Structures are given as structure tokens and as C-alpha cells.
Chains A and B, each alone.
Chain A
Amino acid sequence: MDFVCNFPAFSIVLSMMGAIVSSALKGKWAKHLNMVILFIVMLMSLCVLGYTLQTGEFFVYTMGKFPAPWGNEIRAGVLEGLMATFFCIIMILSLLGGRKHFYQDVEEDRRNLYFIMTDLLLGSLLAMVYTNDLFTAYVFVEINTIAACGLIMIIRNGRTIEAAIRYMIMSLLGSGLFLIGICILYDLTGHLLMSSLKESVANLVSQGEYVIPLTMTIALMSVGLAIKSALFPFHAWLPDAYGYSTISSAAMLSSLVSKGYIFLVIKIMYRVIGFDVFANSKIINILFVFGILGMIIGSVSAIKENDIMRMIAFSSVAQIGYIYMGFGLGSQAGMIASVFHIFSHAATKALLFVAAMGLRDASGGSKAFIDLTGAGRRHLWAGIGFTVGGLSMVGIPTFSGFVSKLLFSQAAIFSNHKMLIALIALAVSTILNAIYFMKTIIRIYSAPGEEIAAGTQKCKSDIRYILTIVSFLLLNVLLGMSSTVFYFLIEKGLIMFD
């Protein structure tokens, strides 16, 4: 076994240890430690990605060297490496971009708590990405939920308390369903390790036994995780949680936390249930319908919203809808489109949050839409960032959003029954996206009236902010322009899943 094979376990343990050590550190040092850990984990994930690409197959790391049916395993392939690297990059950029506001929002003596939560979040995300054991996945899902709740709660005001409670209630409902799903599946098969589970499930399916309980577990697990990742009818907590937390939290919650759960759904689809069984179950139709509804209703709510942060939050609901719609198509092409959209949305949404915060700064911190008039002129980089993010979300070529929309429509065309609905929903949702993003972009570049101009000042970005925006822009263009590379990586990763 090569040394690289230790890296997934290392990175999980490192971020968990970082959280423990941070509790004894002052805010400043916790911040530095957090950054160092993020960079190390990013490099290790890159090594894992390179190694799996080079060998062309996944590797399994047995925790404590206990062999397969008894021990706990970590399994890494191309997609896991790519996902972990990407999560690290987005997290670094979100933290950098929101740093100025973080200093304003959080008191000196509570700053290290924030970095404890960030480290825990990173650790649990990595564990969810790498683990090969269903129950371990459940435990880390809960750790992720608690860490995310801490990220929302770090600002102390009434809004965040309410948002955190609503978030916790929905999340706990989701994890309750997920847990009972796992338990029933364990009851049916007697395994918790994903590879053994898949064999047993395939056996059950080929013998035609336990059809209803099996469908039930698929439903419970996917609906549980869908609730946690804020798929349409379960999204009520989302605008408050994203709209009122500090900006780094909002960026991380929308682009990482929900994506971690979605990645777990994909893993369960491929590695526990088996893709064919999943695609033939009726559950994907439910995911498809709710995905479509989310695409439309999320965008409509975003149009009605009068607060820019909440508007972006509602846009997340629509984008999560896209991803589940891709699952619902039940084909390999749909899955690739969904995974690509995970990357594309993560890169774009974090950029939008960071940029929107800059725009608000240039408007005297006002939340109201009308005060943002001309903000793009006052704050150059925020304006550029928001414009690019908006164009990418709408699906203008050269940016990442275009590629994911293209992949979705290609996948939809090859689907027999769902082609028309999916294409119409894509078209409608794109137009709705265009309405609210173009409305905002036009507003931030139009000349402000006397009244608004009087209350605002020109905003100079600090170097960290510019760096963040530029990196996000590059990431977005990279995803948009060299999509063939990512397509290749995702396809290879999904093949390795089987």
C-alpha cells in the first residue's frame, strides 16, 4: 500500500484534531491553524486525486487493519478526491472573502469557536465523502448538522436563534428518517459496509424478496437526505439560515453543507443500492417531481424577495432542484450533469454571497433592494463578482452554469418519458433566473438618485477580498471553459463507484 492511501484518514483526523486544539487557542491562532489545515487537506486531497487517476482504480483503507465484514473502511476514488479538493478550495475562499465581516460580526473572545465549527465541518464533510460505512456516514451527518448550526449561531441576535432552531428541527427530521432507513436496511441485509450491502441488495433484488421494505429504505434514506439538503417542500428554514448568518457561514452552508448530503445520496445510489435498482425504483420519480417544483418555485420566490441575501438563498433552492431533477432522470448522463452542477453551483453561489456582501457594504449596509442602486459602481470588485455569478447562474456560455444547463438538457433528451417536462422546466427556470439576476445586475449599475447617493460612500476592496473574487472568477471560468476535463473526471469517478 502506498503512502498516499493514508491521506484520506489523515485529513479527517487532522481536521478533527484541529477542532480540539482550536478550543484552547485564541481566535487569531485558531484562524491560522484553520487555514494551515485547510491547505494541507487540500494538498492531500489533490494527491489522492492524482494517485487514483494514475493507478486508474479506487483504493480501500481499512481502519485499524480489521478485515472487511467487521472493520470500518475508507474508500477513495477519483470523484472523492475531486470533491474533497473542491470543498477545501471553496471553504478557503469563503473564509477569506468573509473575513472582514467576520471581524465585525463576532466578538473577540468567541472567534475561536467559529474555527472549531469550521474544522468540524471540514472533518465531517471529508468523512462523508470518503467513508465506506453507512453508520459512520450517519454519525458524521449529525456532526455536520451540529457544526452548521454553530456557524449560523455565531452572530447573536434573535433572527439567528430562530433560523438555527428551524434549521435544527428540519435537519433532525431528516436524520431521523435517514437513521431508520439505515436500520431497516441493516435488518434486511445484516451489513453496514457499503460493498457488502450492495452484494446483499443485489441478491435480494434478483430473488425478488423484500421488494416493499427495500423500496421503503430507498425512500427513507433519499428523502431524509433531501430534507437535509433543502429540496423544495422542505426549504422553509433555508432563507433565514443563509440570509442572516455571517457571510462566510452563508457561503459555506449553501455551497458545502447541502452538497455534502447530496454527495452522500449519490454514494448510496451507486454503492449501496446499486444504480440500476435505484433507477428502476419509483423513488426517482418523486425526486424528479420535487426537483422540478423546486426549480420553478425557488426562482419565483427569489423574484418576489426584496432582500438580496434572501434572494440568493432562494436561488439555492432552485439550484438544489436542478440537482435532484438530474437524479430523477435516472440515467448516467443525468448523474454526470448533477455532479457537475454540484461543482458549478458551489463555485457560483459562494461567489454570489461574497459579492452581494460587498454590494451591501457599498450601500451603507442596507438590506433593501432599492438602496443597492449603483452599488456596482461604488464597489468595483463586488460588482464584477456579482455580474459574473449572475451570468453563470443564468447560463451564459464561458461560465460554469452554461455547461451544467447544457449537460442537463442533453441528459433530458435521452430520457424517454421525462424529456418534455425536464426541458420545459429548464427553459422556464432559466428565464426566471434571468429575471431576478438581470434585474439586480441592471440595478447595481444604474445611476443612483440623489437620496440614495447621499447615504453611501465609495468602497475600496482590501487585497483579500479582491483575491477571493478573482479566484472565484477563475474557478468559474475554469469550470466553464475546460468542462471536458471535469466531465472526464466525473465520468471516471462514477464508473469507479460501481
Chain B
Amino acid sequence: MGPNFIANYGEVIAMILFGIGFTNLLLQKNMIKKILGLNIMDTAIYLFLAQKGYIDGRIAPIIVNGVTEAENYINPIPSGLVLTGIVVSVSVTALMLSLTIRMYQRYHTLDLDEVSTQLRKEGL
């Protein structure tokens, strides 16, 4: 188990980061910290994908100097997935931030539990 961990250190780091991001998104009270957690979580997944797509000693799959053999290039699909994933995570982050701004304008706090308390006081 030990040598495997060292050989695949990239994936191990990605998984640890995923855990950090996940717990932050779940447990933090502050909305901004939650959103940071979300981004760490998503980025960890991209790191994992990039690790998986990379093959030692090969270059990015852009044809230069007329070299067309697949053996010279890394796997392009994970890179494509990462790009798609980034688009998704950017839009979700934007939505979360805009929700946070709404919440802050209304309740002057970034703490979700605080908002719940205030709502209970309002009796809505």
C-alpha cells in the first residue's frame, strides 16, 4: 500500500483536496468559505483527471511539425472533460456568489444559521 501511495502521489493529493473541499462546503458557516470549499472540491477533481490523462514523456495533443502518430501525445479526453467541468463550476460559483450577495444585502450577514435565526424572528 505504501509504495502505491508514493507512486500515485498526484491522485492521493487530489483525493485529500477533494475531502478538504467537501467538508468545507458541508460544514463551514460562512458562505464565502463554503464557496471556496466548492472550488477546492471541483479543482481536486480536475487535478485527478489531469493526472489520469497525462502520460510521461509525451506532449499536449496539438499537431506541430506534422507529427500525427498518437504515441507522441497524451490522452486528450480528460483535458476536454476538465474544460467542460470548469465551465460548469464557474457558472455554479457565479450563481452561489450572487445568492450570497442577495443574502448579505437582506440580512447583513454571511452566516447561513444566523439568517435562519433572523427568519424565525421575522416569523415568515
Contacts and interface: CB of A to CB of B under 8 A. Distances in A.
Interface in B19-64: 21-22, 25-26, 31, 34, 38, 41-42, 45, 48-49, 52
A158 B119 contact: yes
Interface string B66-87: 0000000000011001001100
Contact of B91 (A138, A146, A183, A192): A146
Interface string A142-172: 1001100100010001110110111011001
Given A146-B92, A176-B41, A169 B49 contact: no
A146 B25 contact: no
Given A135-B81, A162-B103, A183 B52 contact: yes
A169 B49 CA distance: 23
A138 B77 CA distance: 15
A138 B92 CA distance: 13
A173 interface: yes
Interface in B73-124: 77-78, 81, 84-85, 88, 91-92, 95-96, 99-100, 102-103, 106-107, 112, 115-116, 118-119, 122, 124
A109 interface: no
Given A146-B95, A168-B95, A180-B18, A187 B42 contact: no
A158 B1 CA distance: 51
Contact of B48 (A162, A180, A192): A180
Interface string A168-189: 1100110011011001001100
A176 B35 CA distance: 13
Contacts of A157: 124
Contact of A179 (B45, B78, B118): B45
Contact of B45 (A139, A173, A183, A192): A183
Contacts of B112: 162, 165-166
A483 to B, nearest CB: 39
Contact of A176 (B22, B49, B118): B22
B39 to A, nearest CB: 10
B80 to A, nearest CB: 9
A164 B31 CA distance: 13
A162 B115 contact: yes
A183 B53 CA distance: 11
A137 B1 CA distance: 34
A166 B96 CA distance: 10
Given A135-B81, A157-B124, A180-B18, A142 B119 contact: no
Interface residues of A, number: 28
A285 B34 CA distance: 31
A142 B122 CA distance: 33
Given A162-B103, A162-B112, A169 B34 contact: yes
Nearest to B107: A158
A172 B115 contact: no
Q: Chain B binding site: helix, strand, loop or mixed by DSSP?
A: helix
Contacts of B95: 146, 149, 168
Contacts of B100: 165
A162 B49 contact: no
Contacts of A158: 106-107, 115, 118-119, 122, 124
A195 to B, nearest CB: 17
A396 B92 CA distance: 43
A245 to B, nearest CB: 13
A145 B49 CA distance: 23
A237 to B, nearest CB: 11
Nearest to B78: A186
B27 to A, nearest CB: 11
Contacts of A192: 77
Contacts of B106: 158, 161
Contact of A142 (B22, B88, B118): B88
Nearest to A179: B45
B45 A180 contact: yes
A139 B22 CA distance: 19
B52 A187 contact: yes
B124 A159 contact: yes
Contacts of B115: 158, 161-162
Contact of A161 (B42, B78, B99): B99
A153 B95 CA distance: 11
Most buried by B among A139, A142, A177: A142
Most buried by A among B91, B92, B103: B92
Contacts of A180: 18, 45, 48
Contacts of B85: 179
Contacts of A176: 18, 21-22, 25, 38, 41-42, 45
A245 B22 CA distance: 28
Contact of A162 (B26, B41, B77, B119): B119
15 contacts: A146-B92, A146-B95, A149-B99, A158-B122, A159-B124, A165-B31, A165-B103, A165-B112, A168-B99, A172-B96, A176-B25, A180-B48, A183-B52, A186-B78, A186-B81
Interface of A: 135, 138-139, 142, 145-146, 149, 153, 157-159, 161-162, 164-166, 168-169, 172-173, 176-177, 179-180, 183, 186-187, 192
Interface of B: 18, 21-22, 25-26, 31, 34, 38, 41-42, 45, 48-49, 52, 77-78, 81, 84-85, 88, 91-92, 95-96, 99-100, 102-103, 106-107, 112, 115-116, 118-119, 122, 124
Given A158-B119, A164-B99, A172-B92, 8 more contacts: A162-B116, A165-B99, A168-B96, A172-B96, A177-B22, A180-B45, A183-B49, A183-B52
6 closest residue pairs by CB, A with B = A142-B88, A176-B41, A187-B52, A161-B103, A159-B124, A165-B99
